[in-house]
Structure 1
Amino acid sequence: MTQADTITRILDSAEQLFAEKGFAETSLRMITTRAKVNLAAVNYHFGSKKDLIQAVFARFLTPFTEKLNKELQVVVKDNPSPSFHDVLGVLAKTMLTGIENNENYNKLSVFMRLLGLAYTQAQGHLRKFLLENYSQSYSAFIGYLKMAHPELSGREIFWRIHFAIGASVFTMSSIEVLRSMEQNDTGAKSSIEEIMNQLIPFLAAALEQEQTFNVNAQT
């Protein structure tokens, strides 16, 4: 087994176990058992469990953000005032890159579960890692949303985008369950692209709703 093969097996196993059990509940021994490697291999290639968690996120986020940045720049070049729908459409297209014609889109679903865990489980080192490595891409994306509606305050953008993230994480991390429910209820079974094509207008409409709110409002 080459070093590249070892790294891939460790990352694949860690990714699956973190998504299934959570970060705290997954031990390095569980990962090495599933990957069929020894603990020394994990320590050699990653150093610690924290570094391994960060590597799992980096494997998806680094190529994703690089492509997203390029695609958004192209959109803004052609349309200096993109709508929420335009920006979210680029996001969806980037997420679907490489899986449009591939039924095995499990990795996207797994990553969305991991993203949900990053919000719900205390992982201070992960938040620091994401800020240090991806804050520029995140800020640029938020900037494009602000271009679409400059009248919205930073707080309104913050909450709207996180409501949208919540809906996206739920939908994409539970995609197989939802597709099965759809088939039972309606007799149809949408492809991931069809689901994304319905999700984007829904999120755009929510982001573009005119009613503002006061987060300090009291009842």
Structure 2
Amino acid sequence: MDTKNKILDAAETLFADKGFNGTSLREITSLADVNLAAVNYHFGSKKELIKAVMSRYMNELAPRLENSLVLVCQQEQQPSLLEVFSAFIEPLLSLNVFRENGTSNFLQLLGRGYTDSQGFLRWFLTTQYPGVITHFVEAVQRAFPELTAEDIFWRLHFTMGTVIFTMSSSDALIDIAENDFDQSLDIGDVIRKVIPFVSAGVGAPLQVK
């Protein structure tokens, strides 16, 4: 394996486990068995390394997800919000083919981008991969046209919070399902369980009486 990918693999492992703030470059170089000069040469800074770790996944995910959302928007009948959110399943699970435990790792990293207050990373993802957000919002508007731009902002914010909390504790949830309910689940099952919940939340009545 070349030096650049050794650094990316080590950074991904540590970022997912300890967070972006909790991981030092020294820990990354130690795990990758490289020196700090190699990190600076290939990436220049910790922020650029974080972007590179996320881009490795997003470059694989974004085209699949955009295509899946476009298909939802192009169907003749008005889509349901359940159909809109279900469009995420196959693209996300395809990350397991791309990298071992890719789906879980990516969702953990995405969650870290929010819980670690990595504003630059959220900006990077929305500006570098704008098609994902554009097609997703378009699909939500087709399914629930009564929602204003402000409604969508808040509901997608709440959705992201639910998804991040769920995925950050997915290993524990899978263990609980096995121990308490005798269910053998994987990350795909967890995703399928959360989708009806967030779909119903985005489609909730616009006013509370």
Instruction: Work out whether residues 14 and 31 of structure 1, in 8 Å CA contact, stay in contact via their aligned partners in 2.
Output: yes
Q: Which residue of 1 aligns with 2:66?
A: 69
Q: Which residue of 1 aligns with 2:117?
A: 122
Q: Which residue of 2 aligns with 1:23?
A: 20
> CA deviation digits over 1:53-94, x for unaligned, max 9?
111111111221111111222232233522211111111221
Residues 149-164 of structure 1 aligned to structure 2 (within 5 Å)? 149-164=144-159
Residues 206-217 of structure 1 aligned to structure 2 (within 5 Å)? 206-212=201-207
How many percent of aligned residue pairs carry the same amino acid?
A: 41
Q: Which amino acid aligns with 1:190?
A: L
Runs of 4+ in structure 1 deviating by more than 6 angstroms, as ranges, are none
Instruction: Work out whether residues 29 and 39 of structure 1, in 8 Å CA contact, stay in contact via their aligned partners in 2.
Output: yes
Q: Which residue of 1 aligns with 2:89?
A: 92
> CA deviation digits over 1:78-119, x for unaligned, max 9?
33522211111111221112538x9x52x3223222222222
Using the size of structure 2 for normalisation, the TM-score is 0.88
Deviation at 1:125, TM superposition (A): 2.8
1:189 equivalenced with 2:181 (yes/no): no
**Which segments of 5 or more consecutive residues in structure 1 lack a partner in the other structure?**
215-219
**Residue of structure 2 aligned with 1:139, choices 134, 137, 152:** 134
Q: Which residue of 2 aligns with 1:42?
A: 39
- C-alpha change, 1:127 and 1:164, in structure 2 (3 Å) is closer
**Cα root mean square deviation, aligned:** 2.2
Deviation at 1:49, TM superposition (A): 0.9
Q: Which residue of 2 aligns with 1:217?
A: none
Using the size of structure 1 for normalisation, the TM-score is 0.85
Instruction: Work out whether residues 11 and 28 of structure 2, in 8 Å CA contact, stay in contact via their aligned partners in 1.
Output: yes
Q: Which amino acid aligns with 1:177?
A: A
The size of the alignment, in residue pairs, is 208
Q: Which amino acid aligns with 2:193?
A: Q
